[in-house]
Chain A
Amino acid sequence: MATLEEITAEVTAEVEAEKPLNKQVNNEVMELTDEDYAQLITDRAAYKYNQQEFGYIQDRQEAYGSISDQLDMQYWDNVNGTTTWKDHIAKVKSDNPKPE
């Protein structure tokens, strides 16, 4: 797992390669100031670090599906003696692993 410092270094190189970058304030377009570039790097690195650490939670939430669909799976598992719901949850977890 990359540290925040390592991600910041990656993002700094990424932003350097993307220069020049513009911002629009109301209808005026201008290049980012040095302060803006520094803030952009901080924001982007913080976001990527958070995604690395906690992104799996959101990914799992989206992949689990609706509660009603899960209840339906559980009902039919009970009726038919199958393990559809358990298999589905296990697959979502393995597809979106928690970072070690």
Chain B
Amino acid sequence: MAGSLIKINETTVTSNQSSVAITGIDNSYNVYIVKTVGMEGTAHDQPLRFQVTESGTGSGDSDYDYSLKNLGVNGAYDRTGTNDTSFTLEFTDENTAQAQHMSLIYCYNFSSTTEYALVTIEGITVGRTQNAVGVTGGGVYTQTGTARDGLSFFQAGGGNIRAGHITLYALKK
């Protein structure tokens, strides 16, 4: 349907950042989509992760449950977490400086203060040893009481995000 995707915000990473947040989610729309393209990390073999933001700051509370299936050329494997401090994506970098991650993250209920925030994830990492690893799944952020206004991305075990482009869209009601 033409005109149903509305660009809300975008940001480009051009230097090392310990985290990169994009905000702009409010109660104007029901569903938002965060698109990440060309996300690169500085640390080898450390996964790209993300948290929901509250007033622009990533929430590190242990309220993230998720289940992902990673589809590598050498086989499929699971990524799950309960009461974790963030959602996970695939590794951004494994013994190569060229690994990149791209994904679409659908965000539901973010502006609610009474309902859990939900995400569904579809993405791919290229440039790893396995060349390409697809990611599909979703998660729930089980803390309520404060509206969530965006997502914040980082490398979990150390390192910085050194490149990437993040765009926030809304789906027209």
A48 to B23 alpha-carbon distance, docked (Å): 28
Residue of B nearest to A23 (CB): B19
Take A25-B23, A26-B22, A43-B85 as given contacts and tell me if A61 and B77 are in contact as well, using a CB distance cutoff of 8 Å: yes
Q: How many residues of B contact A (CB 8 A)?
A: 36
> In the complex, which residues 1-49 of chain B have their Cβ closer than 8 Å to any Cβ of chain A?
9, 11-13, 15-24, 49
Which chain A positions have C-beta within 8 A of B127?
A: none
Tell whether A21 is near chain B: CB-to-CB under 8 Å: yes
- Please count the residue pairs between chain A and chain B whose beta carbons lie under 8 angstroms apart in the complex: 75
Give the one of B16, B75, B78, B160 with max A CB within 10 A: B75
Contact B75 A23 (CB under 8 A): no
Stretch in A63-71, A73-81, A82-90 touching the partner: A63-71
Residue of B nearest to A30 (CB): B17
Contact A43 B86 (CB under 8 A): yes
Take A42-B60, A42-B85, A43-B85 as given contacts and tell me if A26 and B74 are in contact as well, using a CB distance cutoff of 8 Å: no
Give the one of A26, A42, A64 with max B CB within 10 A: A26
Main secondary structure of the interface of B (DSSP, over half): strand
Which chain A positions have C-beta within 8 A of B67?
A: none
Which chain A positions have C-beta within 8 A of B84?
A: 46
Which chain B positions have C-beta within 8 A of A62?
A: 72, 74-75, 77, 130
A24 to B12 alpha-carbon distance, docked (Å): 9
Question: Among A22, A67, A69, which residue has its beta carbon within 8 angstroms of that of B17?
Answer: A22
Q: How many residues of A contact B (CB 8 A)?
A: 28
Take A22-B17, A27-B11 as given contacts and tell me if A66 and B76 are in contact as well, using a CB distance cutoff of 8 Å: yes
Tell whether B138 is near chain A: CB-to-CB under 8 Å: no
Which chain B positions have C-beta within 8 A of A25?
A: 21, 23, 56
* Contact bitstring B64-104, A, C-beta under 8 A = 1, else 0: 00000000101111110000111000000000000000000
Contact A44 B9 (CB under 8 A): no
Which chain B positions have C-beta within 8 A of A46?
A: 84-85
Which chain A positions have C-beta within 8 A of B171?
A: none
A36 to B17 alpha-carbon distance, docked (Å): 13
Take A14-B158, A39-B58 as given contacts and tell me if A23 and B17 are in contact as well, using a CB distance cutoff of 8 Å: yes
Residue of A nearest to B133 (CB): A62
B47 to chain A, nearest CB (A): 8
A98 to B58 alpha-carbon distance, docked (Å): 33
Contact B157 A47 (CB under 8 A): yes
Contact A58 B77 (CB under 8 A): yes
Give me 8 A-to-B residue pairs in the complex whose CB atoms sit less than 8 angstroms apart, sorted by A's number.
A23-B152, A32-B18, A43-B85, A44-B158, A61-B78, A64-B75, A65-B74, A66-B75
